[in-house]
Amino acid sequence: MPSYSSSLLAAFEFASLPMLGWLAAAILPWLIHRWNRRQRHTTSWAAVDLLLTAVGQRSRQVKLQQWLLIALRTAILLLVAMAIAEPMLGRWASDSSKVGPRHTVVILDQSYSMSRRSQGSTCLDRAKAHARRLIESRPSGDVFSVVGWAQTTDNVLGRPTSDTSLALSAIGSLSQTEEIAHWSLALRAAKAALEPQKENRPALDQTEVVFFSDLARNTWLASPEEQSQWAELAKKASLTVVNVGDGQQDNIAIVDFTVEPPLLSPGQDVSFTATLQSFGDRAWENIEVELSIDGRSTLSQQVSLAAGATSTVRFRLSLENEGPHTVQVSIGGAVDSFSSDNRRWLVIEIRPRLQVACIAGKPGAADDVARALAPGKLSADIVQTIQPKISPVSLLSELDLAKYDALFLCSAADLNQREADQVARFVRAGGGLAVFLDGQTPTEPLSQLLPVTLHESVPLGEYRFDALNYTHPIVEPFRGNENAGLLKVAVMKYRRLEIKPERQTTETVLKFDAGDLALVVDRLGLGRVAVMAIPASLAIRAAEKNPWSSFSVSPSFLPVMRELLTHLVSRRRLESQNLQVGQAAAFAWDASRPETQVTVRRPDGAERMLMTPAAEDQGIILLAETTASGIYHVSAAGEEITRFAVNLDPLESDLSTINPQELPTGITTSTASSSAKGRADYAFAPSLLAGAAICLLAELTLACGLGRGWQ
């Protein structure tokens, strides 16, 4: 069994130790020299005095030259033998001569760039082979931790073990994922893996962390400030990265796949856009991009990409059938050796209409919103698509919110606990909530739902919206359409909002020119919540004299309301049904259903049962393990409840590797790549071969010179 050298040439590690047998060949020059001396000719000679004179002059020089030649020939054989033994210069190897047990943390990169295949083996295969050899080479008494590293890290053994077979088995259990990896997770995992050793075992003087990775640039690149985070770990343990990459950097990938508009109704024109990117130095000609809907190939286009370029392919079509559809875009044929990122999926849903409950806290408070959502006279499809229903706040508790897609609370902040709970359940199950504020202070239950803290109204004045460069999707349509009047809306008064410190996901859509928040959006459960600092109508309360703003009657009100609804409902729904690998999938469960389990069928066909939530729970089923890309189907009693698409994070499609000099100080690199057959092409081997070539050249020159009788 090949094993790493622990004593021989302690500074090196050899991937093909048996090849070191050829080192014995280094004795050949000396043997040949001895044999030649034995195979000498014999002749009688008269001019012995002259010969002795000549020998006396040249004896030392000749001996020196002969030994120099032998040394050169020996060096040639040694270097060649070492080169074919696939040496790797590693910190752990150099440490092997030290006395005392050692704790080695083996961290294997399982990210999907490690799945690329060359010469019959993947990078992960090579990483596992090298890790095994590393463990096998260690003396008894050493302890090991084995960590799988991708979007999450998994310390397979839990605690360090001195059982080599257990460690080897742990390495074998690590499988390829389709996740990305980031150095920060590896750092955290390494720190965590070294901790138990201090607690549960006698302190080991030597600790080391060996990362087996393809050194993907996006995985390892850290800013100088971030690199300092490694310093603490480097003080505790020696850090080595073994490069198991194959050096291949050319790759083409579909890095994005979107649908417009996100709000889809039957017969509506739909545009699917796939973004292709070329990585590396290769240009790609006539790449066929194919669109399939529900497994049927529908459209295809050809595209060419220059090296490093990005290109978009747009497919336009109309979908008639209501319900969920699976859309796949893929690159036809085996154009590159890394095919995982050559396809992406979308799950879309064609809905005939959206139901919106517009709750008015005072008469007329929701009229403008309802009108904006369903103008009635503008376009037939809009009328058919969005169906707002105005209800006074007093009837809120009687509404069956499960039938609605969104809830607009217009100056209706006075919710009791029951109503607030009803709204909260609705949002957490995936509904959209928009709250338009006026001078009324929201009740505490409602306040808890909102991502912002409400302060007093600002004094009367003239305020304008600040669209923040139209970066948010809700106001993005106004970009270049300044005449639409968004920035000219007259605001005389508004509630000052402040994002709650604990909310990390709150997005600011609009601000006032005074710098205060005007419109913010945040997530809550599966749904979204929007809060606007002004009312959605001109209606005023009894104590007030003037309306707060002219927004509800401005031309920009309609597009903002419609985009708000799209964002709250359709985009959120698209988001929840189209995930990236590693993202948790969540979907609402109708508590009235009798089933206690749902079945999740993964893209590879494997099925997993999930318990349905109890009726008193929030009604959300969570699937955390979206480790594979493709379509996941969720069904109960044979009926599909939902489906979602999981796509690769395109970060790992960039196969460029980080320069070892860019790695944090304290991390040494060892470059190696090998096939499944064990043949390796080490970056170190060429140096040895170059050394052998130099020795060969020197030998030839010296031997030739001696042949000519150099003095």
Q: Checking phi first, is residue 158 left (phi over 0); if not, alpha (psi -120 to 50) or beta?
A: left
Nearer to another protein among residue 27 and residue 52 (C-beta): 52
All residues at 6 or more sequence positions from 380 whose CB lies less than 8 Å from its CB, including other chains: none
CB 75, min distance to another protein, A: 21
Binding flag, residue 31, another protein (CB under 8 A):
no
DSSP-assigned beta bridge partners for residue 213: 243
Nearer to another protein among residue 60 and residue 377 (C-beta): 60
Rounded distance between C-alpha atoms, residue 104 and residue 117, angstroms: 28
Size of the site for another protein (CB under 8 A): 28
N-term to C-term CA, the chain: 51
Secondary structure (H, E, C), 459-497 = CCCCECEECHHHCCCCCHHHCCCHHHCHHHCCECCCEEE
Binding flag, residue 706, another protein (CB under 8 A):
yes
688 near 83, Cβ under 8 Å?
A: yes
Nearer to another protein among residue 34 and residue 198 (C-beta): 34
Q: Enter the tokens of residue 229.
A: 């985070």
Q: How many CB atoms lie within 10 A of CB 326?
A: 18
Binding flag, residue 50, another protein (CB under 8 A):
yes
Nearer to another protein among residue 36 and residue 504 (C-beta): 36
Nearer to another protein among residue 33 and residue 503 (C-beta): 33
CB 51, min distance to another protein, A: 5
Binding flag, residue 60, another protein (CB under 8 A):
no
Nearer to another protein among residue 286 and residue 711 (C-beta): 711
Q: Enter the tokens of residue 376.
A: 């009635």
Nearer to another protein among residue 63 and residue 159 (C-beta): 63
Stretch that binds another protein, among 45-53, 72-80, 100-108, 447-455 (CB under 8 A): 45-53
Binding flag, residue 395, another protein (CB under 8 A):
no
CB 60, min distance to another protein, A: 11
Q: Which of 57, 310, 379, 701 binds another protein (CB under 8 A)?
A: 57
Report the half-sphere exposure of 449 (CA within 13 A, side-chain side). 30
Q: Which of 1, 40, 296, 459 binds another protein (CB under 8 A)?
A: 40
Give the DSSP H or E segment for 345: strand 343-350
Nearer to another protein among residue 46 and residue 334 (C-beta): 46
Q: Which of 39, 200, 504, 592 binds another protein (CB under 8 A)?
A: 39
Binding flag, residue 43, another protein (CB under 8 A):
yes
Binding flag, residue 37, another protein (CB under 8 A):
yes
Peptide bond into 261 cis (omega under 30): yes
Rounded distance between C-alpha atoms, residue 418 and residue 253, angstroms: 50
Q: How many CB atoms lie within 10 A of CB 630?
A: 18
Stretch that binds another protein, among 56-64, 107-115, 391-399, 652-660 (CB under 8 A): 56-64
Q: Which of 24, 27, 51, 611 binds another protein (CB under 8 A)?
A: 51
Rounded distance between C-alpha atoms, residue 600 and residue 625, angstroms: 11
Q: Which residue has the tokens 């890095």?
A: 255
Stretch that binds another protein, among 5-13, 61-69, 133-141, 492-500 (CB under 8 A): 61-69
Nearer to another protein among residue 11 and residue 700 (C-beta): 700
442 near 461, Cβ under 8 Å?
A: no
Q: Enter the tokens of residue 641.
A: 């409840």
Nearer to another protein among residue 403 and residue 708 (C-beta): 708
Nearer to another protein among residue 46 and residue 609 (C-beta): 46
534 near 491, Cβ under 8 Å?
A: yes
Q: Which of 24, 58, 232, 418 binds another protein (CB under 8 A)?
A: 58
Binding flag, residue 47, another protein (CB under 8 A):
yes
Q: Which of 41, 60, 403, 545 binds another protein (CB under 8 A)?
A: 41
Residue type, 109: D
CB 702, min distance to another protein, A: 12
| Rg of the chain (C-alpha set) | 35
Q: Which of 200, 223, 469, 711 binds another protein (CB under 8 A)?
A: 711
Q: Which residue has the tokens 């047998």?
A: 21
Stretch that binds another protein, among 54-62, 92-100, 142-150, 298-306 (CB under 8 A): 54-62
Task: Name which of 618, 621, 619 is nearest 635 in CA terms.
Answer: 621
Task: Name which of 563, 550, 565, 566 is nearest 494 in CA terms.
Answer: 550
CB 41, min distance to another protein, A: 5
CB 43, min distance to another protein, A: 6
Using CB under 8 A as the binding rule, the residues of this chain from 66 to 105 that contact another protein are 66
Q: How do 406-410 and 432-436 pair as beta strands?
A: parallel
Nearer to another protein among residue 49 and residue 320 (C-beta): 49
Nearer to another protein among residue 51 and residue 317 (C-beta): 51
Peptide bond into 2 cis (omega under 30): no
CB 89, min distance to another protein, A: 39
CB 29, min distance to another protein, A: 15
Q: Which of 8, 52, 553, 700 binds another protein (CB under 8 A)?
A: 52
Nearer to another protein among residue 166 and residue 706 (C-beta): 706
Stretch that binds another protein, among 62-70, 247-255, 298-306, 596-604 (CB under 8 A): 62-70
Residue type, 665: T
Q: Which of 8, 11, 27, 55 binds another protein (CB under 8 A)?
A: 55
Binding flag, residue 140, another protein (CB under 8 A):
no
Q: Is 162 exposed, middle or buried (0-12, 13-18, 19+ CB in 10 A)?
A: middle
Q: Enter the tokens of residue 26.
A: 């280094």
Binding flag, residue 45, another protein (CB under 8 A):
yes
Stretch that binds another protein, among 46-54, 447-455, 487-495, 522-530 (CB under 8 A): 46-54
DSSP-assigned beta bridge partners for residue 146: 106
Q: Which of 31, 48, 306, 614 binds another protein (CB under 8 A)?
A: 48
Could you tell me the maximum CA-CA distance found in the chain, to the nearest angstrom? 139
Using alpha carbons only, give the angle 456, 460, 465 rounded to the nearest 5 degrees. 85
Binding flag, residue 707, another protein (CB under 8 A):
yes
Rounded distance between C-alpha atoms, residue 173 and residue 108, angstroms: 11
Nearer to another protein among residue 11 and residue 52 (C-beta): 52
Q: Which residue has the tokens 């084995």?
A: 146
Rounded distance between C-alpha atoms, residue 300 and residue 497, angstroms: 49
Q: Which of 7, 42, 469, 592 binds another protein (CB under 8 A)?
A: 42
Tell me which DSSP letter residue 202 carries.
P
Q: Which of 18, 53, 98, 297 binds another protein (CB under 8 A)?
A: 53
Contact positions toward another protein, by CB under 8 A? 36-37, 39-55, 57-58, 62, 65-66, 706-707, 709, 711
